[in-house]
Structure 1
Amino acid sequence: MDKTIHKDHKLLSFGEAGRGCGIYIHIPFCKQACHYCDFHFSTSVKKKGRLVEMLCKELLLRKAELLKSEIQTIYFGGGTPSLLTSEELQQIFETVFANFNIAENPEITLEANPDDLSEEKLKMLAASKINRLSVGVQSFFEEDLRLMNRAHNAREAFESIRLAGRYFENISIDLIYGVPEMSAEKWRKNLQIALELGVPHISSYALTVEPNTALQKFIERGKVKPVDDELAREHFEILINTLKKAGFEHYEFSNFGKPGYFSQNNTAYWLGKPYLGIGPSAHSYNGDSRKWNVANNSLYIKALEKAELPLQTEKLSVTDKYNEYVMTRLRTKFGVGIAEVEEAFGKNYGDYLLQQAAVLLKKGLLKNENEILHVTSKGKFLSDGIAADLFYVEEE
């Protein structure tokens, strides 16, 4: 068997990552609904072909938004982008590459589910412009996957990653911790399996109970035990320590990468770089405003058929930008630069930042290293709450 591994793109260092702009393409289809998920998707794929046509039409209608920008990342998210056929992928790529200024070696990521990654599918993806896979494993244990209502089983979770390694070098997997009744030993085993498979990037998230999801209803009815914050905290500590020993860098709260394998797409988000969001429910950001598409496949298609953009726009104030900067940077290894805040938002915001940070510094939740604020090990699991304490709240 031929071993075709994608190595044709330059993996940027953390300092280089995030230059240029990105395109996010939302593929709103799934085989079945995961119990914890509140993203926009449909389990009916009847309109998939037509929706892909409208994705391409939206790309054409909005190309002027990034006319002078170099596109360094293209990200297929969802939903389940691995449901796309080779023809549908090619249709999208032809539109993107013909109408945008694409960098010489862009990072092109496709989210995939393990049950889609047959050898035939992997060969097709490896023959396309995709050079990075993000695989939604979530767990290597059958009982966890059943609780989440994932479409794949434990064997498929393992085999898909083993097989993907024959065709792709740059692979990320998602794992969920804090699952009710998941022991510390089982969580360690999940991580050990991932390490044995040799993946260079892991994104790991605590199981959260989103409103109006099946998981919320099951917990309310007593069919599933409530999510335990202390259990999640224990798993998080195991996660950090295990991956650090294995040579991974904890470069963002939920993301761990071997050197050279940090996600350029996600890093660009955290650095506040512009991106164009295409597809139902997709968000866009240009530094001054945020836009988002209607979260309805039928309404999205109908609007684009009339050459109308089903968008809403929010103009961002200086305070909005400051708060977003604090929220995103505090989650990363970059930290919140005091001088950078003053330069970007004004000295009053820098003074406010230091004033709000004082208590957190005394509590040992923040540290000031060369005038850059970082969350301490003690504060890591509380980073979102710490960010909220640093937010600027405008008086009525």
Structure 2
Amino acid sequence: MNRLELDKASILAVIVSLLADELKALRHLSSHQTGSERWSASTLIGEMQETSPLDQDEIAIGADSLELLSLATCVAMFFNIYESGLEDYLLRFKTLGEWADLVATARRRGTENVTFATSGSTGTPKQCLQQWDALVTETSFFAEYFGSSSNLPTQRIIALSPCHHIYGFIFSILLPLQLQLPAVIRAPKALAMIHQRKLRAGDLMIGFPFIWRQLSRQGTSFPAGTKAITSTGPCDPTIIRELQNQGIDCMVEVYGSSETAGIGVRSNPDSPFQLLPRWQRGNNATTLAECETGTEYELDDELKWLGQTHFLPEGRRDECVQVGGINVFPSRITERLQSLPEVAAAAVRLMSALEGERLKAFIVPVEGYVDHEALEAFLHAWCIRNLMAVERPKAFTFGLTLPHNLMGKQSDWPIKAGISAEALLMEMIE
């Protein structure tokens, strides 16, 4: 087994991504407001003491005691530091670099496995432990896929996906280590490089459907020899073909989840996915089994099998939708909106393809509440305070009753105009 190991730079990149994501939730910030693009090994995590002023080049996150505990817990859980008995040192050390060194020490003591949290508005994220050897084996498969077996081996990784989620971790942390590539270019620098047309042949872009749709709409051109990977949700085949017309040589789709890591791969949207070597078909259309152990996993999607090694996803079995590659449950947002005293009834759903890629809401105000403009302003402000960016409806429609079709079932409704997502792009890629 290849004993691929994380270096300090990779550990630091994951810590920065983890903490930025946690601070967004704790402080109700957007991505650019965390300032994480300026963090480095010398960045102080806690609040500055008046007796120890910052040097000009130093930065402090300024976490208070409660935030510090939450940030330390995120790092300890992700890297399973509890197994080493070193977790208490996170609260003693002051900088991101010291935290990275502590993680490296824990890993040298045998704490290798990694725990990923599922995305989405599920209340408490589900913790998914991944065995290190399984992650390395999958990385080796993709290293061959994008490395020596390619007509043009990968030269650089351009990462538009956060590296603390399993997809970003495999392809923007482990894959460049396996291929011995130079430092990964991450958002927002990665996005700026694409817009400034500084990509070159051999670049491999790591993204997800939301970002690919935006780059397709913008007509972004790509140099010959660039490749891309998409995951976290279905990518419209039309978008893939448009991006190929714009210069991308190959768009690879990876199907998987935080619970299973990668399951299948394809490089043609008209073809089925092929199982990765780790997996075999389960006993029914909703299960998958590990080849070595026979352990079965229940999937969120129903699969249509075309033989023993090829399949097509046929949609989720729950009410989840994806916004910017993150799982969101409209019914839970509906419940929260309906709990407001100003709202008699609500419905939340994903916008249509012509309207945008965000959520929209239909609101029935309580009797006597006729100032819809004021109510809309209140709802937008409430959503900013109480919901993650991907959970917030971006268009509100008001009426006396929720929309229903002739059969009496709740139906879709039009909004005044499509919502442009370009201004919100950075919220999706950090």
Give the TM-score normalised by structure 1: 0.27
Give the TM-score normalised by structure 2: 0.25
Higher helix share: 1
Structure with greater Cα Rg: 2
Higher relative contact order (CA 8 A, sep 6+): 1
